[in-house]
Amino acid sequence: MSTPFSPLTGAALTGAERMAPAATVTPSFSPLYRQIKVLILNGLRLGEWKPGEGIPSEMDLATRFHVSQGTVRKAIDELAAENLLVRRQGKGTFVATHAEQQVQFRFLKLVPDSGRPGSEGPAHRDIIECRRSSANSEVARALALSAGDAVLQVRRVLSFLGTPTILEDIWLPADPFKGLTAERLAAYQGPMYALFETEFNVRMVRAEEKIRAEPANEGREKLLRVEIGTPLLSVERIAYTYKDVPMELRRGYYCTETHYYHNTLG
């Protein structure tokens, strides 16, 4: 297995290329499998393989990248651990997607007091509004835009067993989501992030949430059918696509009378 080649440039990876610049402190060394990981990641980011599709077999990738199967394997291991890829023995390796039962509740952590996550069936979704506006400074900062840039603003209510439980305000950069309307949102069956994948080629990979307890104010109170002042779980989320690019700001208000936010500390 002579000198490894960079598949995109066709140039051989020299020892120097495998070293980070000496001045850079953070990664003093980049092993081969991590470079392979970046190459696969690029393929994912550029849409070479779409969510739900299979990527080439480990042997194919090893040949393409001029490394051993074990090295490709280690790269894929890390991507699978980060939930970007899914391995299926005997079938292949596939790009992860939000359009799967299994993954449905990795981003919606509200579960009913009795029963398992999703045991109430799919939530009923009401799109309250979907309009174009311009980002204020707060939204701009969250989405790495400039203040005044165009954004789409969605407000919706999720109901379980007829009881409105979640009120969400969602901000999206207008450009990547051009063409998103209340009608398309309402028509789509399945998770919103799955629609983002198929319609806008945006795959949400990771999110950060800030959770607080807040009293229901006027406006939210009516949509969730609770008294003003009722404690609600305030969940502010920023969701990121592949290269840690923020693509969504979401403020949720969860009614925790009959549900709770579930979290595991590992």
71 binds, among its own copies, DNA, none (CB under 5 to 8 A by kind): DNA
Residues 65-104, one symbol each (x = binds DNA by CB under 7 A, - = not), give --xxxxx-xx------------xxxxxxx-----------
- Whichever of 59 and 186 has its CB closer to DNA, that residue is 59
Stretch that binds DNA, among 25-33, 119-127, 150-158, 249-257 (CB under 7 A): 25-33
The conformation of residue 198, written as its DSSP 8-state character, comes to H
**CB of residue 184 to its own copies, shortest distance in Å:** 25
129 binds, among its own copies, DNA, none (CB under 5 to 8 A by kind): none
122 binds, among its own copies, DNA, none (CB under 5 to 8 A by kind): none
**CB of residue 111 to DNA, shortest distance in Å:** 28
Query: Could you tell me which of 159, 161, 164 has the C-alpha nearest to residue 222?
Result: 164
**CB of residue 64 to DNA, shortest distance in Å:** 12
> Interface with DNA includes 7 (CB under 7 A)?
no
* Alpha carbons 189 and 96: distance in angstroms, whole number: 19
181-189 own/partner pairs: CB under 8 Å, 24+ apart: 181/130, 182/127, 182/129, 182/130, 182/154, 185/125, 185/127, 185/130, 185/154, 185/156, 186/125, 186/127, 189/122
Identity of residue 241: T
- Whichever of 122 and 231 has its CB closer to its own copies, that residue is 231
Q: For the beta carbon of residue 21, count every other beta carbon within 10 angstroms.
A: 9
> Interface with DNA includes 32 (CB under 7 A)?
yes
Q: State the greatest distance between any 2 C-alpha atoms of the chain, in Å, as a whole number.
A: 71
Q: Is the CB of residue 137 less than 8 Å from the CB of residue 147?
A: yes
- Whichever of 168 and 174 has its CB closer to its own copies, that residue is 168
Residues that bind DNA (CB under 7 A): 1, 4, 28-29, 31-34, 55, 57-60, 67-71, 73-74, 87-93
